[in-house]
A and B are shown apart, each in its own frame.
Chain A
Amino acid sequence: MHVEAGQVHGFLGPNGSGKTTTLRTLLGLIRPDGGRMAILGHEVPGTLDQVAPQVGAIVESPQFFPHFTARDTLSLLAGAGDLPERRVDEVLELVGLRDRAGERVKTYSLGMKQRLAVASALLKNPRLLILDEPANGLDPGGIREMRTLMRNLSEAGMTVVLSSHILGEIQLICDSVTIISLGRRVAFGPVDEVLAQHSSGAVRARLEAVTDLPAAATALTRAGVRVTTNDDHLMLAGVDKPATVTRLLAEQGLYVSELAPIAVDLESVFLELTATAPVPGQHRQVDQSVRVDGAEPSVPAGGGWGA
């Protein structure tokens, strides 16, 4: 996993795939059993104490001492980090908790705790921000604010690593992604590249007359195109240039009314790469996802949620 400075990087994986474990290990909370890690050029965990002042992080659900106010909580963290007290007000303002800062954390909703967690991570004005599920519990407005905040921080030069299951958000705000499954990387790179790599190249073709579909399918198959015939359209695979389809069919006197490349989104790529797409009638277990060491995912069995 490699994160370029100044980027917003999405870190994705199914439940139990090891995202939080990876982040905890990176932050020195879990002892690694091998491998190499570096943050901002410093090998960790060996030099973590040198790099920690430049790393802001929230790991998993936000946890705070419930009887302290948000201001006390941040003030104590600022004290531990030798930061000026005014920084507390700045981050409270930034995450929208200014007016509720004097209330005890135990009275906060999950979304407010999440905002406080983000505030605690931002307190150091870090060069690297690691956020594990920052949108948990946020209302739609909060999610949009968080998205804007991440963008602004990134534009200001902060590197952001974001772990989330809200893939639409990741696709919107991340420059690059790493997708893991059962502790192993299955995809990595800029979002556009990952999407392009896993784009099927499929094209959907409709004809002016539905009755022409069989003839069109025959002509395209003869030309080497893989065709799947549906009731009102054809799905074409292995098409380099959509223009060849129109020319080929026109030569046969068949006229195309729609020719649309099938776009993939991060969610479908994620589901494909991790093999975690729901299968009707089956209950997938949490560890049933793709292994990159070659082993096939185990066949879903009965049981699971609601079983």
Chain B
Amino acid sequence: MSLFRTELRRLAKRRFARWMTAGGLLVLVLVAVGMFLSNQKIGPDQFAEARQAADRQHQEQVRWAEQERANCERAKTAGEDVDYYPADCADITAPPRESIEEQWFLPSTFNFRESFGEMLIPLAAILAMVGFVVGASFVGAEWNTGGMMNLLLWRPKRLTVLLTKLGALLTGLLALALPATAAWFGSMWLVANWRGTTEGMTSGTWQSFLITGLRGIVLALVAATLGFALASLGRHTAMALGGAIAVMVVGQVGLGILLSMAQVRFAEAWLLPTYVYAWMTKSLTLEDWQACNATYTGECNPATLDITWQHSSVLFTVGIVLFLGAALWAMRRRDIT
């Protein structure tokens, strides 16, 4: 227990961990402020303004149609060859007023019920990034500076040391993620109250949001574990960061281009972000527009592939078992030099 407490202290003392945490929280605050500034509450005044704006646009369309019709008739009378006008200039008419919808002119508003689920994705992404980088640095710097060797002179049980460090990291991340998620719920609720609406919330919706938030926290824990395992495996923070960059640039962008060129069906199914997104949204439907699933009306629909959060969880589990297992094996077998 003393080792666990010490590792928590060490994590809290790490300047990099503090800066990354502060940076992540700052981004979240900026997003919340941006949401506040870019949304408005919609009331009778906003509806009236939208109606007026729609009327104005309709009138502009009417004026434009009249002008074009006049131009068309003048051109026809002059015998000019104007094939961009219809044969009968009377066909140039303005759209009916009802086709210009008033809602197009309403200001942006934050509907908590409709939009908060998506707003949990940036929260999870930032927490996962902080977790990955801090996790990698927490153990990578220890290896790199000889701190791990010093610690092993005190606590020779290698696996206990590494797993205790990981436990402290995940505990520290939970201590950040839980309040941050709660604060995110609170701040978005306030934004919705002041700059949107919270109507339509039911206990089922709340439950769904809470579970999505929980999945976001789990995603951050998975990212932290992977960063930790990679850095421990390479005994350097750069191993994890370099690995992440390599996976994103070569593994994802490069693979994406290659799969696209090879016209592989459901190419996104091979890309990691698909599974992250599916994890957060419970399921994601990929579409293959090169296939035709004819309906009874003769309509041609694309073939689809559903990626669910269960698929993602299998992928995350395999990743953790693979990389953390390798890190533990290396910790046990490799010499400490």
Contacts and interface: CB of A to CB of B under 8 A. Distances in A.
A77 B152 contact: no
Nearest to A105: B145
Contacts of B5: 79
Given A52-B155, A65-B141, A80 B149 contact: no
B147 A79 contact: no
B203 interface: no
Interface in A29-62: 29-31, 45, 48-49, 52-53, 55, 57, 59, 62
Contacts of A79: 2-3, 5-6, 9
Interface string A59-90: 10011111110001000110111100000000
Contacts of A64: 145-147, 150
A55 B152 CA distance: 12
| Contact count band on A | 20 to 34
B70 interface: no
Nearest to A28: B156
A76 B149 contact: no
B194 to A, nearest CB: 42
Given A31-B335, A45-B156, A65 B2 contact: no
Contacts, number: 75
Contacts of A77: 150-151, 154
B336 A24 contact: yes
A63 B150 contact: yes
A158 B300 CA distance: 86
Interface string B137-166: 000011001110111111111000000000
B8 to A, nearest CB: 10
B155 A29 contact: no
Contact of A28 (B10, B141, B147, B152): B152
Contacts of B14: 67
Looking at chain B's contact residues, the main secondary structure is helix
B145 A29 contact: no
A53 B333 CA distance: 23
A29 B146 contact: no
B32 to A, nearest CB: 31
Nearest to A53: B154
Contacts of A28: 152, 156
A235 interface: no
B232 to A, nearest CB: 16
Nearest to A123: B154
Given A52-B154, A52-B155, A79-B2, A30 B149 contact: no
B3 A80 contact: yes
Nearest to A117: B150
A65 B150 CA distance: 10
A65 B147 contact: yes
B241 to A, nearest CB: 18
B151 A49 contact: no
Contacts of B141: 65
Given A52-B155, A59-B149, A24 B335 contact: yes
A40 to B, nearest CB: 14
A63 B146 contact: yes
5 contacts: A59-B153, A76-B10, A76-B13, A80-B155, A124-B154
Given A24-B337, A27-B156, 18 more contacts: A24-B335, A30-B336, A52-B154, A52-B155, A64-B145, A64-B146, A64-B150, A65-B145, A72-B13, A76-B6, A79-B6, A79-B9, A80-B2, A80-B3, A80-B154, A81-B2, A81-B154, A124-B154
Interface of A: 24, 27-31, 45, 48-49, 52-53, 55, 57, 59, 62-68, 72, 76-77, 79-82, 120, 124
